[in-house]
Amino acid sequence: MVDNKALIVALDFDDIDSVLRLTDQLDPSLCRVKVGKQLFTRVGPSAVEQLVKLGFDVFLDLKFHDIPNTVANAVSAAADLGVWMTNVHASGGSSMMNAAREALVGRQNKPLLTAVTVLTSMAEADLAEVGFQGAALARVVALAKLTEKAGLDGVVCSAQEASELRKVVDPAFALVTPGIRLKGDAMGDQKRVVDPAAAIAAGANYLVMGRSITAATDPIAAIKRILSSLEPE
Ligand code: C5P
């Protein structure tokens, strides 16, 4: 089933004024927002707090990858900010993912905890360079299984892998897919890209979209175009 707020807008900006210029025009009941490394490093936790206060579901995308104790404490800090979702790198391993999950046990407003499998900017040649032979898909599937076994809520992957993943993971396991482009959009640094409707059809639950919206001359028109492309014909 398509989530009624499947679209997550990546707020990859340098300052809070640019964020608020866009979010002032956004309805928190129609989409979610993502705070990543750029905005968080420039502005800090107050950016998240402001967005939560405005009523947005915030995905804090800091892709934690460190020793289990450090990641557990970071995930706990993310939960204290009131975020809807946060994430780690699955390649940090099951001890790290278990520690992250345990850090959230007993919390009232528990954020969803997801794990990055293989970055959508990486193709086979990039993986080979860091010592992984073969297609991205095999690695994504292995990391998704590891993530599910560690009890996390889902993975971040390319929509190109979504239909294969849907065959091996629980239906409730969330697939969060960046690398989404409308036909005609610039690819930027992304390599494994899919259009929004095809991503949902392949089994993605959430679509992360940044530059197709933030770099558009009319970001709100771009969002409307994306949302209408997701409506059933
Ligand atoms: O601008 P674009 O739509 O490519 O933005 C994608 C967003 O998703 C960025 O904020 C990026 O950090 C994030 N992301 C990604 N690939 C992942 C996980 C997150 O591109 N595997």
| Closest atom of ligand 1 to CA, residue 211 | 1
Alpha helix ranges (H) inside the chain: 16-23, 37-43, 45-53, 68-80, 94-102, 124-129, 136-149, 162-168, 196-201, 211-214, 219-230
> What pLDDT score was predicted for residue 102?
98
Q: Which residue has the tokens 């997801």?
A: 114
The rounded distance, in Å, linking the Cα atoms of 68 and 190 is 29
2 has pLDDT over 80: no
pLDDT in tens, 198-207: 999 999 999 9
Residues 6+ apart with CB under 8 A from 183: 195
- The string of DSSP codes covering 123-138 is -HHHHHHTT--S-HHH
Of the candidates 53, 63, 167, 183, the residue annotated as catalytic is: 63
pLDDT in tens, 150-168: 999 999 999 999 999 999 9
Distances (CA, A) of 116 to 130, 142, 149: 16, 12, 15
224 in active site: no
Query: What are the pocket residues of ligand 1 if the criterion is a CB atom closer than 6 Å to any ligand atom?
Result: 10, 12, 36, 61, 116, 119-120, 156, 178-179, 188, 190, 208-212
Q: Do 202 and 193 form a contact (C-beta atoms < 8 A)?
A: no
Kindly report the pTM of this predicted structure. 0.95
187 pLDDT band, cuts 50/70/90, is confident
Q: Which two tokens stand for residue 217?
A: 């001359």
- Return the best residue to mutate from 85, 161, 208 for the ligand 1 pocket (most ligand atoms within 8 A of CB): 208
